[in-house]
Amino acid sequence: MDAGLLAAVAAAVVWGAYLFVLKRAFAGYPPAALTVAINVAAVSWFLAGTGLTVGFGDAAAGVSGLVAPRRAAVVAVTTLGTAAAFVLFLRAIDQGAVSYVAPINKIVPMFVLPLEVGLLGQVLAPVQVAGVVVTTLAVYVANYEPGGFFAPFARAARSRPAQLALASAACYAVADVGKRVALQEFSIPGTLWVPLLLAGVAVVLFPAALRSPFAVTRRDLPKFLAAGGLVAPGEHLTTVAFAALPASVAPPVINTQAIVAAVLGGVLLGERHFRLRLAAAVLAVAGVAMIAG
């Protein structure tokens, strides 16, 4: 298996487990403050794992290149998009079941493709149009309950978790396109990109975190370290995948995390309508794979 594809598959497993941990261990925490705390832990893990090499060698050259206006703009947009997407997703899973929210949130490539067509000149193939239809069907299945045919669409329009999940997906799409440009076209090294993105998101959300802080006790510390211990390798694997694969390929593979989250949420948390949510996750993954072409 190609190294980039293998990294994407591994990232999907790590991020799927992370989604489950968020719902299981961090319900009720203010989203901004929670993100800042976990990202600080993740940066610490990453720096420890890389031997504090950020800022040296290739990473040092990457730092000097960031002052260029286009590079700085891409980094800023990607950071803001990631921060907004994650906070919106946290709010979505706080208000809805993981196995309900995850399939909707993971239709990111449905938003990536229009961005790539408009900004990067990518041509939309017929199979990719079919993929958009399949992802739409995934949203229908995720919202399905007995009743009229159009009832799930009306429910999705009224459902706050569904709205938040879709908004999060759109923000993730902006961030994914930014990652592709940063890692492939601008060749920013991964040893710089991972801590830069994680720390940048923490900085963006820090003012909001100050408005809704929470105390971390000694009993809480291990779970924050554990969450950071998932985010660090997850972001590293994601970076490796985006540096090696096209932007239209990496997100569909990584977004199979929806299946991991749906299985864990249904089996371990006993969330309702598990079979429907799992079917929605499978459809969403199939759809984004078709979009990838």
| Digit-coded pLDDT (tens) for 10-50 | 998 899 889 888 878 887 788 889 999 999 999 999 988 87
Nearest to 234 by CA among 19, 74, 75, 1: 19
Exposure string over 144-156, b if 16+ CB within 10 A, otherwise e: beeeeeeebeebb
- Domain boundary assignment for the chain: 3-292
pLDDT at position 76 is 92
Between residues 160 and 275, which one has the greater pLDDT? 160
Q: What is the mean pLDDT of the chain?
A: 81
Q: Which residue has the tokens 């989250």?
A: 261
User: 197 falls in which pLDDT band (50, 70, 90)?
Assistant: very high
User: 55 falls in which pLDDT band (50, 70, 90)?
Assistant: very low
pLDDT at position 227 is 94
109 has pLDDT over 70: yes
Amino acid at 193: W
Rounded CA separation 169/281 (Å): 14
Residue 126 class from Cβ within 10 Å (0-12 exposed, 13-18 middle, 19+ buried)?
exposed
For 21, 42, 219, 247, 282, the CA distances from 76, given in Å and listed in that order, are: 28, 20, 35, 18, 33
Residues 6+ apart with CB under 8 A from 225: 41, 45
Q: What is the largest CA-CA distance in the chain?
A: 61
158-171: average pLDDT: 90
Q: Specify the pTM.
A: 0.78
In SS3 terms, 211-258 reads as: HCCCCCCCCCHHHHHHHHHHHHHHHHHHHHHHHHCCCCCHHHHHCCHH
Highest average pLDDT, of 4-8, 230-234, 269-273, comes from 230-234
